[in-house]
Structures are given as structure tokens and as C-alpha cells.
Chain A
Amino acid sequence: NAGVTQTPKFQVLKTGQSMTLQCAQDMNHNSMYWYRQDPGMGLRLIYYSASEGTTDKGEVPNGYNVSRLNKREFSLRLESAAPSQTSVYFCAIPLTSGTGLLNYGYTFGSGTRLTVV
């Protein structure tokens, strides 16, 4: 899927280590989102950014920080990783319909599989 690029694809951390997940879009959207996916719990919103320079908490923000320094990039940081943060992380941006209008759906990045041991 053109539009959203996530790095890295896989990461193993030790408890207490820090890391930053990167997300970049080339669709010039104002909004960007970070979700985590856990078995049996669907996708839960961690943080979102409605525009460059703004960020807001989602359902499960504890233990995370985000940064939206420019319109293209939205990063997610784990300052002190915990085993409970083992998950698959997805960045998302709004979908654009064929007419160029936003339709409220999302297109997701390829995901980052994070394991904290």
C-alpha cells in the first residue's frame, strides 16, 4: 500500500529499554493515528494527531509518547518498555475516496511486531 510506511517491521526489546516507532505518509493528510493490536482485543487507539504539531490521547495512551514534528511523520515512543507492551503496532491515515474526499476509513501501515522480554 502506497501511502504509509512504518519502521521497523520487527523489534525485540528488554524490559526498561526505549525505542521509537516511525511512521511516514506521502498522502498529505492532516490526521495520523497509532493503534496497537492484541489477540482478542481488536485494534485500540493509542494516540492520534489531527494536524501538524498537535497530538491527543486515545483509549490506551499510558506508557507511550508521540511526536508530530511535521505533516509527513508521526512517531511513537516507548520510554521504558514493559512486557504488557508486547503487541503489533499499526500506524494509520485516512482513506481518500476516488473523488478525493475523505471517507472516514483508514489505510494502515504494514505494522511493527514488538516483543518485550
Chain B
Amino acid sequence: GENVEQHPSTLSVQEGDSAVIKCTYSDSASNYFPWYKQELGKRPQLIIDIRSNVGEKKDQRIAVTLNKTAKHFSLHITETQPEDSAVYFCAASQGNNDMRFGAGTRLTVKP
């Protein structure tokens, strides 16, 4: 089955700096790659996703890139703000029923 690895496990940045979180996947058949943000004590919420027919997708300060050949994808957050502090999870799937998640990255943005 699919295996998703996520790095780093913790990341600390100064407010205004950029943050990058990287994930690799093992199953070349995976075609959907979402990112979830989970604030302390809350449920994970989808913040951006990308499909295998696209190399990059951007939504305001967040962007995701996908390299199918290398089987890795990354989340980029620019101009970080304290409210970006949370745990971020990547995931990979071929459809609805086989979603596999990374272990998570705890991002801390220092004011």
C-alpha cells in the first residue's frame, strides 16, 4: 500500500519568513495530494490540494508543488503569520477510500 513520509516533524520560523514542508509517496498510481491544517484541539481542515495532472497550485500565501517523477510534493507558506502556527499533514490517494497521511509537521511562527 501507499506510504507517505513527511519532513520536518517540527519547524520554527520568524513571522514574515517562508515555510516549506516536504512529503514523499511510494505508490506511483496516487493521483491526489491534499494538505490539512490542524490547530490545537481542533479537527484537521483541508487547506489546499493538487492532482497529478498539475505541477503547481497556489492560493494566496500557500502553494503546493508536485514532482511526479521523484514522487514528492511540498507545501510552501509565504509571509508567515502567527495564526499559521498549527500541525500540517500531507496525504496521498488514488481515490476516496485509500487516503494515507504523513506523520505531520508542527509549525511554529514566532512573532
Contacts and interface: CB of A to CB of B under 8 A. Distances in A.
A42 B101 contact: yes
A40 B96 contact: no
Contacts of A110: 42-43
B89 A43 contact: yes
A42 B97 contact: no
A interface, over-half SS? strand
A22 B102 CA distance: 26
Contacts of B62: none
A82 interface: no
Interface in A95-110: 95, 102-110
A41 B100 CA distance: 11
A104 B34 contact: yes
Given A45-B99, A105-B34, A111 B93 contact: no
B93 A104 contact: yes
A42 B102 CA distance: 6
Given A40-B103, A105-B34, A108-B43, A94 B96 contact: yes
A31 B95 CA distance: 11
Interface centre among B95, B99, B103, B104, by most chain A C-beta atoms within 10 angstroms, is B99
Nearest to B9: A40
Contact of A105 (B4, B9, B46, B102): B46
